Amino acid sequence: MPDPKPQFNAHTPAGLTHREVEAARAKHGWNELPATKRIGPARVFFRQFKNFLVLILIVAGFIAFTLGEYTDTLAIALVIALNGILGFVQEWRAETALESLRNMLSPMARVIRGGCEQSIEARSLVPGDLIVLETGARIPADATLQQAAELRVDESALTGESAPVGKTVGTEASVVFAGTSVVLGRGLATVVAIGANTSFGEIASLTGSVGLKETNLQVQLGRLARQLGSATLAIAVAVLCLGLVMGRDTGEMVMTGLSLSVAMVPEGLPAVVTITLALGAAAMVRQNALARRLQAVETLGAASVICTDKTGTLTENKMTVTRVWTMDRTYQVTGYDPTGHIVHDGSVVRATQDAVLTQLLKTGLTCTHARLHREAEKWIMTGAPTEGALVTLAYKGWAEIPAPSPIVAEIPFSSERKRMSVLVRGDAEDVVYCKGAPEQVLTICTRVMTQDGLRDLGAEESQAITAAYEAMARDGLRVIALALKTTKDEELQEEEMTFLGLAGLIDPPRPEVKPAISAALRAGIRVIMITGDSPLTANAIASQLSLPAAKMVSGEELDLMEDGQLTRVLHDDVLFARTQPVHKMRIVSTLQAQHQIVAMTGDGVNDAPALKRADIGISMGIRGTDVAKGASDLVLLDDNFTTIVSAIGEGRRQFDNVRKFVHYLLSSNAGEVIALLINILIGGPLIFLATQILWMNLVTDGVTAVALGLEKSEPDQMAHPPRKKNAAILGIRGIITILAFGLYTGLASLWVFLHLLPVDEDLARTTAFTAMVLFEKASVFAFRSLHLPCWRIGIFSNPFLLIALVVTIAAQLAAVYWSPLQILLHTAPLHSAQWMLIGILVLPILLVPEALKTLRYVVGNRLKTNSSLLV
């Protein structure tokens, strides 16, 4: 039972009784969002088998089992199981990691019940409860203020607005919202909505209304699987019918059809894709990015647009002074923490060197409730972000630190007055310090301080101050005016004060964001800021980040736009400000309708619906809300925007590698199919047995393809624009390449088989079988890059591939000379003559592709050089 505490004050109501709480809970339930139905481990495991290629393998395995080919059945079953286990482990690990992040939080609330203030679990709140709001507290429910003292609330997680919002009783600003936090002051509020009925809950419900999405890689692999499945069925049936027409044995033709089916389907593809994506996801975790689904990073690699929130994503979500203006001078301020400097005309200035600056810094340091202290080599600020920024400014200028409690009287800030004043007791006379909105502070000033002393504040001076204030506001700065006066009346009166200057504050961009945006733009990826903040602030941040924004659109303007108008606007460089969650979803949906692959970054509740709607949602792991993390596909564990660019590169590498081993596997399978088909047409015995085809496709090709999936990023990977959304894994050029390799390897192995067939059928089949394996090992070098020669990407840059080649060639030697495998695969020992014949036929596969790619590379570079010289 929590210890009771004194009441809020003498006029505080007693709050709900225990009976009233129970009655309200029976009616309204608990203060929590409806729990999403957690996907159990069995469901996560079984959804790994929805891939069409996996379904083809299951059918092939069933046919093999029916025909009594138990070895084939076992081999196929192992591949299917491996694919399922790898996919399950990665997805379940991601879900468990997110659950651990959620369990780290145990929100509590201060509440008055039965006349006592106590701490309870936030989920226990009911409508009608009286909650106590204090600096640093997270507001647990929507509530209406009953009492408030200098209360300011950070609503950025809900609205995207970076500046704290002042809250007062009896006005439109009397409502506080769940999910926001108190940055200054104290208050008492009556709960009016809990759980799903809060503004927080409505956005969470909007997020839940967005259905599951299919990644681009899933779409492309599904299309490829359907194409391969149709081709497999058509060829197998055609061959079966052809054989029967030619009078071949029915049993033999059924086995031939099964062999063709096995040869057509790249059995290793699902496992290789899964392994490659899993290894890529593991690599991203080491770079502080957690992929909740295997395909997430690959989708980011295909992104053509990144829609990003501003507050906390592009910016620090911390206010800092960047400019100070006085009647004589303008100062630039560097850095966020006290290690920064105040600079005038290129020189660092300290308070002791400038009388006006001394008084301005002292005012900001005294007229405040914020405090700054150092803890474990890190600066910690408590209080309102705006006041904290002025305190930090004073530290940067080496101002004298005042006594711990110098304030003897105070007129607090209010939304009506828009200024705060304090009275400080001095040795000879008292001092009134004031800060607030420039137009409000000017009304109580009669003089202005300059480097030459005090002078009257006339029309000319007022115009200069107003012009400076407006110029700073146009740059997106939040402007605070500071003033003081001495008094002997020991009373705090806001009149006849001396104007000191202006301080311009902004939520500064995160330092790593600008180069990250530049890298994204160089890679052909558009970056669009969508923020709930003001247009001026958004435009200033975009300018500092060199983010193209030729047009500014507010949320109100967006509401008036038809879909066609929004489509036209999105063709240009545009910036969106004062937006709501529904606006973000609409922008993402419109971009997707233009066939763009959209990535959405964010950390707040207001970002969650768009995170889920986007092709890939990216949330912040440290400051991101649970709702945002749950809606995202990728969680940045370090909240570092630069990680996004790394993930884009990793995603492109993954898709490129998927394309490489798809080309490789299909070119290998094409050779097997061509050799089988022609051999059937000429009436010869089977060139490859079903077990030999499975050995090639699963053991030798599978291991090599996994190693191919570990190829590093190519040198020019981020110099290319993102691929089209409908870009197939296999294009026309890819099909031609596959056919070329298939024709050569198929005809060469068939020639070897027919050449040795008169000598001995087992020897001929073993030689053709071994030749095809070595042809496929040699061809892997041609697919290490689809456009660059091996010497350009580094001959030894993928040691895993070299190891895989050694292992698979050793396995093939075992298949030829080791008795158990000889029996399983029906092979016979080869002699030096057969090995020499195979070696001669392997050379063109090694040399011709490398020569062609080298020629294309050299010619392409010369054309680029000539084009640049002409420009």
User: Per-residue pLDDT tens for 85-130?
Assistant: 766 765 666 555 445 434 433 467 889 888 887 888 888 899 999 9
CATH second-level architecture of 301-315+510-645? Answer: 3-Layer(aba) Sandwich (3.40)
Active-site position among 72, 154, 309, 701: 309
Residue 79 pLDDT: 65
DSSP track, 785-804:
-SSS-HHHH-TTS-HHHHHH
**Count of CB atoms situated within 10 Å of the CB of 321:** 26
Question: Residue 273: how many CA atoms within 13 Å on its side-chain side?
Answer: 28
For 420-465, how does the pLDDT look when each residue is reduced to its tens digit (9 = 90+)?
999 998 777 889 999 999 999 999 999 999 999 999 999 999 999 9
d(CA 392, CA 86): 51
Give mean pLDDT, residues 760-769.
95
- Please tell me the chain's helix, strand, coil percentages from 3-state DSSP, rounded to the nearest 5: 50, 20, 30
> What is each CA distance from 738 to 492, 663, 850, in whole angstroms?
86, 6, 16
Which band of pLDDT confidence, cut at 50, 70 and 90, is reported for residue 7?
Answer: very low
CA 403 to chain centre: 47
Intervals of CATH 3.40.1110.10 along the chain? 320-506
CA 308 to chain centre: 10
For residues 721, 722, 726 and 729, what is the CA-based torsion angle, rounded to 10 degrees? Answer: 100
Intervals of CATH 2.70.150.10 along the chain? 1-81+107-197
Indicate if the alpha-carbon torsion angle 625, 386, 555, 589 is positive or negative.
negative
Residue 38 pLDDT: 60
d(CA 451, CA 809): 85
3-state secondary structure 635-697: EECCCCCHHHHHHHHHHHHHHHHHHHHHHHHHHHHHHHHHHHHHHHHCCCCCCCCHHHHHHHH
Give the bridge partners for 480, in sequence order. Answer: 503
> What is each CA distance from 800 to 237, 711, 773, in whole angstroms?
39, 9, 18
> What is each CA distance from 182 to 39, 134, 140, 783, in whole angstroms?
35, 6, 11, 58
d(CA 620, CA 626): 10
For 669-712, how does the pLDDT look when each residue is reduced to its tens digit (9 = 90+)?
889 889 988 887 887 888 888 778 878 876 777 788 878 888 88
Is 0.75 topped by the overall pTM? no
d(CA 237, CA 160): 61
Q: What tokens does 567 get?
A: 């489509």
Residue 34 pLDDT: 64
CATH number of 1-81+107-197: 2.70.150.10
d(CA 833, CA 759): 13
Q: Are 811 and 698 in contact (CB under 8 A)?
A: no
Give the bridge partners for 505, in sequence order. Answer: 321, 478
d(CA 128, CA 12): 14
**Count of CB atoms situated within 10 Å of the CB of 208:** 18
Q: Are 603 and 309 in contact (CB under 8 A)?
A: yes
595: alpha, beta or left, given left = phi > 0 and alpha = psi -120 to 50? left
Task: Could you please state the CATH topology (level 3) that the domain comprising 320-506 is classified under.
Answer: Calcium-transporting ATPase, cytoplasmic domain N (3.40.1110)
Our answer to whether residue 309 is catalytic in this structure is yes
d(CA 102, CA 483): 47
> What is each CA distance from 662 to 109, 279, 751, 783, in whole angstroms?
56, 17, 26, 10
Residue 13 pLDDT: 72
